[in-house]
Structure 1
């Protein structure tokens, strides 16, 4: 019934154009500008279209916004969308996880776990997924930037609380080209010092009789930015949209198909010397932390039980493998003075997430003794010498002598599918000497969380260049402790936790509205949003307790015998699920004032209060009653965010400057997946200043941004000792700048991104050093339609650490941390069509 109700919005989108035709009103495009004017044909930096009631001049809005055009993205030379987001002021984007699974935050809001909890990623005005921190489903996994992207718009704080659900921190929206401009491009890119071969194509234009079309996409293959020993990145994407313009509006049908495999770079071992307060990070022998990963051509099989407790063999080359098929409809019309816009999208998301995670690293001889007892021996299980005894464990891994107790994070994505519909109507009425803009809307969504967690444990030597072998362990009597490298067909090194199955659906309904009154140079307005939702379904897992067993014995290799490793097999308790059935509701509101002091200058102030619904990270924690499916603490359903901001905006003659001060108070309840059994119940406070500016000239141009943040843990219900501490990985200062020279047919420049130091964990002991990366670009326009580009990402091969699993330097000096990729250089040839 709920699905049928959602589909009732579709006929409105289909009938709006016919109703609008009878109105004979001026046509407007989806950016809220006159569709007949040339200025509306391309994105404009000075027009806000994301998370606001109507598109309007930035200097007339009381929100903090930024926009990156397609030309800006080219200069950044990104290897992932997370590297693009680093160039948005206020955004903390940890771009060290590969082409997905990035951690994102904004303006000091916490990043206690993975993903982007308080920040929503959108594509053409609708979310990728409803919740940006789904476990093994971070929103950026399902997002790719290609030549079809016209611009990337962002709103930080402000109206994001009321014009989108679950996004109190802000919204980042990738806006697609829709055929306004005739033409396109074909681009061939190859990696010069890393494995990447990619073909991009896009084309759009008008077909006549009010029709226009755009199609674009890419295909690629290669090892990827790091040396993993196999083709880790392979797949592609295609997007198509078809628009019909009517008198008074338009209707657009669009689709997207993404089938892409990319490597997920988890925390890797690195040596740390010095002290927690003054650490020095350096690569271990045989393993380059900036260019290697805990992936290998000799460790590609994961043998495990699937979601139905049947034996299966999964391929680690799948990595992050999203299979996304989406179809959407967007329509705009003018009805009785109201501009009505409806956006609808159905998305099917399936696939897999599989990656190696180091639970512990130590000397091979020490781990052998701990797991196999005195006299235990090691042998190669895979690689060039399978079965050979390792006589010198201290020379394992090319001389580092280290062994990894490895957890294979194997998650089957049965469905992260969704249905979204956003219907809104707005109008402008003259009231007295001013004008009143009124907006009413209704948002409805359904989000599936259907996953199977099928983790296993194995032993892996620490060796770079994708050549690490799996290792077998034998006790002193020669009895195998492992089987083909597997210590257990369970998360043995995590206490056999986390064999889980999720079959939960989340529904959200949200009416919203806003009023904005403009009198001369002053605008004052406010908006409300009321979110009502529920979660319903079943979860399975031994972590739920109640007599659900953790381990069984199962013949996993088919030899009709039960070895030691086969006694450590995790199975799902399929006959004893726990229900999930609870609801939530909360009110969000925002109010602001903007004073256009003069044509080039404006001042603004805003107060907002929003919320974020907790999703699957709540399910296996103390907040859920596994007997009834209800919440033991209703406060756990929603985390609140309160924000105050104010600042100035200036724009004139090739110069612009935005300066904003902010304050935020954030509540959070969460679970840390990489530290099983660790939960969070806190309140954070943050304040700071962000700045963004640009100078544009004929020869020299410069864009720059910086954010200063002071963030603290204000309340901790579980561990009060952290009160007053700086939240993990929160730097006080981050910055980005892009200088550029145009010398005739040649463009030269660099994209510089930096951060000061931060603490690895909330105990505030081990520091992550500050770092700055510089990416250089050079483009030579061979002709009007042919250009050759050379890009070097992290040109100086800097080590930059974004996170650490360790709170202090361990006794052996080996920390599990994630670094940004080392230097990668690419050459691209583009032909304009």
Structure 2
């Protein structure tokens, strides 16, 4: 299939290049330094539409951030950057990857980005954005290659992208339009990180240009773990050949990067559900510490092949990407034809410490298997008894955590998007027609194991594994590990080997006459899902003497494995239709208004594997409605733009029914993964605006949302607000700029929300301030200082408890505390 698409794409390209030997006249070229000092217009949108259009002529809600503004924000993680986009709710508390994202009140039932698609240069990073613990940001990084980040919310994303009914965020690479480049060295002033970034591009001839860039970094990261958790880098390159009426481009990327992951951690809470008071536990800072520490490293397990092995939690989130892409545009008999394809080889491995519960240390032996005592299993006090568990580390707590280990064998994908557009003069107006076909193949091939263990709660990278010792002196645990079976009754050792093949023809019509433009688009998604899954059951257990001491501990009796004999097939098809209709009226040169109604869908994908929705006999769908989740949306908006001022206001409504997996506390307080099937409704308004007067500028955005659960497996939830859904999220970025320096801040905040769907315990409102200062002492040199979370705000994004616990301790996740980074950048 891949060779066929290359042939289809290259054949008309050869025809086009032979017909147009002369290159188009190149415009005046800026240097990289000049481009960094130029105010770039963002009046044209290219993401999620049939053809590039002036924003005031497009019935869409769009935003963009260019590379100059991105460097000011000073956030290297994708999730931190996406927090600054209006309408986007990004929970950036897990580290640089595996953030949670949603848009305009669409529910964040599970993890990742279910309704929002992440793209690089117009093609998806992953076809599905909510694969558990393997979200699209796992395989993308920000560096100086990025020329612009563009987003489209709702609207035409339903029909111009598969599995993206909520919107698209597109990272657009530089392609050598400017001459020269830059190099930057940066370092943390109050935390351990060192990083180098570079980018270089330009013209080789009048018709050939190129761009190459990347980064390398290493360091502990923004939290105190006691070891180097971040190390690796990326290099990306492209080369473009222009010809009259079009271009051909080759794109490549190599990523090999490891970043530490941050799981939930204990947080003290008092007060009431409506007015809780959250404070860090003694000797552990919720904003600066992590339970992933230097004293917790290798843990044995049985891998997906059934072999005993060891994994190291310090390996963190390791991503490896090798991708090659091809992009072309040319004219053919009045049609503008574009084809964009990419093959991405995406693999790696993941070792994440994810706490499931927190218990008083003195009660741990009784809560997990009877009476006994405690002793350190690792760290400088390994083997020493814990004689005063009630005062351990000043907080008297133990965390019941789990190693989540995933061997990512293949998340490879191949994507091709071929489309043709033509403008016709009809009845005094212009009719733009677009026909296209999208094809994608996405692998989900990985092995996953869960190993529970005990550790003490202390910061500074000093947390250690803790053993429970039975009254007779025999260990209940093995080097801190409670068992090698997992925290649940089944499925703790699993293998997924499934491929998704998607074909989606689509088309659109846009008729513009005078000030009025009417549009309609449709897309037909068909998916074929094949492969198999396997997971251990209650009796799939082996006994292994891990330390070869001749004594089998209780933990060593429970090594879970996934027997090949229990492999179940996956073999089903699905299809759905998406459509969108719109009207845009250009009232004047500076003002327009639009309305749109859309119906889209999102394939359930990984979320229904190993669930009752799929037959364990033949792999076909038992519940056909679970194959995809429909999303209906409506929006009406106003846009205004004049010299130095713009404002966009959009009202929206959305309705969705979905099948998903939710991480939430069980009846015993231990976090678990649960299949849910629910319906939701959301409505609200979104504002985005900006003003520039001389050296002063201000951009701002706010999204007001009212959302509720309309159907649920638990009737008591109907009418409640979805968890972690705030009434208002907002972004503000004031700055002052002259020839010598730029100073400003990026402020992102949210009002209060509920921790869980039961609508009892509240999460407090917060606002974080990322302040920046850039100084240009001489031409082509920039000194910068960035302070993320300048005021060290405790920004809580997630609390596992649904109500105020009697223990006064919950598991929570927060944004990191204040980090200050200094950098020097040289342009050449």
* TM class, shorter-length: over 0.9
User: What pairs with 1:122-137 in structure 2 (closer than 5 Å)?
Assistant: 122-137=119-134
| 1:591-670 → structure 2 map (5 Å cutoff) | 591-670=581-660
**Which of 742, 750, 758 is the matching residue for 1:747?**
742
**What is the CA-CA distance between 1:575 and the residue it aligns to?**
1.8
Report if aligned partners of 2:596, 2:636 keep a CA contact under 8 Å in 1.
Answer: yes
Task: Using the TM superposition, give the Cα deviation of residue 555 of structure 1 relative to its aligned residue in structure 2, in angstroms.
Answer: 2.5
Separation in 1 of the partners of 2:811 and 2:404? 16
- Residue in structure 2 matched with residue 15 of structure 1 by the alignment: 11
1:88 paired with 2:78, answer: no
The equivalent of 1:473 in structure 2 is 468
State how far apart, in whole Å, the 2-side matches of 1:705 and 1:809 are.
Answer: 33
Residue 449 of structure 2 is matched in structure 1 by: 454
Deviation for aligned residue 1:38: 6.8
Counterpart of 1:482 in structure 2 is 477
| 1:515 to 2:509 alignment | yes
Match in the other structure for 1:31: none
Return the offset for 1:309. Answer: 1.3
Aligned partner of 2:239 among 238, 242, 251: 242
Q: 1:421 to 1:39 in 2, by over 3 A?
A: farther
Note if contact 2:30-2:179 (Cα within 8 Å) is conserved in structure 1: no
Q: Summarize deviations over 1:461-519 as a string: whole Å, max 9, x none.
A: 11111111111111111011011111111213x34543211000011000000010010
8 A Cα contact 1:511 1:529, kept in partner: yes
Which position in structure 2 is the counterpart of 1:49?
46
CA contact 1:794–1:822 (8 Å) conserved in 2:
yes
1:149 alignment partner, one of 112, 127, 146:
146
1:817 has 2:812 as partner = yes
CA distance in structure 1 between the partners assigned to 2:326 and 2:624 by the alignment: 36
Q: Which residue of 1 aligns with 2:667?
A: none
Instruction: Go from structure 1 to structure 2 and tell me whether the alpha carbon gap of 1:824 and 1:677 turns closer, same or farther (over 3 Å shift).
Output: closer
Secondary structure of 1:266 counterpart: coil
Shift of 1:209: 4.7
1:281 equivalenced with 2:304 (yes/no): no
How many residues are treated as equivalent by the alignment? 816
Do 1:446 and 1:507's aligned partners in 2 also have CA atoms closer than 8 Å?
Answer: yes
1:627 Cα deviation after fit: 1.4
Q: Classify 1:35/1:50 alpha carbon distance in 2 versus 1 (closer, same or farther; 3 Å).
A: farther
Deviations 1:570-595 (A, max 9, x none): 11122220000111000000010100
Structure 1 distance, partners of 2:347, 2:514, is: 52
For 2:568, the equivalent position in structure 1 comes to: 578
Secondary structure at 1:137's aligned position in 2? coil
Partners of 2:697 and 2:41 in 1: how far apart? 17
Render the CA deviation track for 1:19-52: whole Å, top value 9, x for unaligned. 2235449979xxxxx9747799986411010010
CA contact (8 A) 2:31 2:178 kept: no
The offset of 1:316, in angstroms, is 1.1
Displacement of 1:562? 2.2
**Please, which of 354, 359, 378 is the counterpart of residue 356 of structure 2?**
359
Secondary structure of the residue aligned to 1:240 is strand
2:493 is aligned with 1:499: yes
Structure-to-structure mapping, 1:203-214, within 5 angstroms: 203-214=200-211
Go from structure 1 to structure 2 and tell me whether the alpha carbon gap of 1:677 and 1:136 turns closer, same or farther (over 3 Å shift): closer
C-alpha distance after superposition, 1:124-154 (max 9, x if no partner): 0000000000112101111111111000000
Q: Could you tell me which of 83, 95, 100 is aligned with 1:98? A: 95
**TM-score normalised according to structure 2 size:** 0.96
Change (3 A) 1:559 1:310: farther
**2:702 matches 1:706:** yes
- Output aligned runs, 1:275-314, within 5 Å: 275-314=272-311
Q: TM-score, normalised by structure 1?
A: 0.96
Q: Residue 339 of structure 1 contacts residue 425 of structure 1 at CA under 8 Å; is this kept in 2?
A: yes
Corresponding residue for residue 393 of structure 1: 389
Give the distance between the partners of 1:611 and 1:281, measured in 2 at CA: 39
Pairing 1:542-553 to 2, within 5 Å after superposition? 542=536, 549-553=539-543
Q: Distance in 2 between matches of 1:53 and 1:44?
A: 20
Alignment of 1:703-782 (within 5 A): 703-716=699-712, 718-782=713-777
* Structure 1 unmatched ranges of 5 or more: 29-33
Does the 8 A contact of 1:14 with 1:251 survive in 2?
A: no
Change (3 A) 1:662 1:25: farther
In angstroms, what is the RMSD of aligned CA positions?
Answer: 1.7
- Equivalences for residues 680-699 of structure 1 within 5 A: 680-699=676-695
State the shift of 1:13 in Å. Answer: 2.9
Report the counterpart of residue 168 of structure 2 in structure 1.
Answer: 171
Residues 496 and 550, structure 1, Cα contact 8 Å, conserved in 2: no
Equivalent of residue 784 in structure 1, options 755, 761, 779: 779
* Rounded Cα–Cα distance in structure 1 between residues aligned with 2:333 and 2:546: 68
CA distance in 2, matches of 1:123, 1:344: 11
In the alignment, the residues of structure 2 paired with residue 37 and residue 530 of structure 1 have an alpha-carbon distance, to the nearest angstrom, of 43
* Structure 1 residue 811 displacement after superposition: 1.7
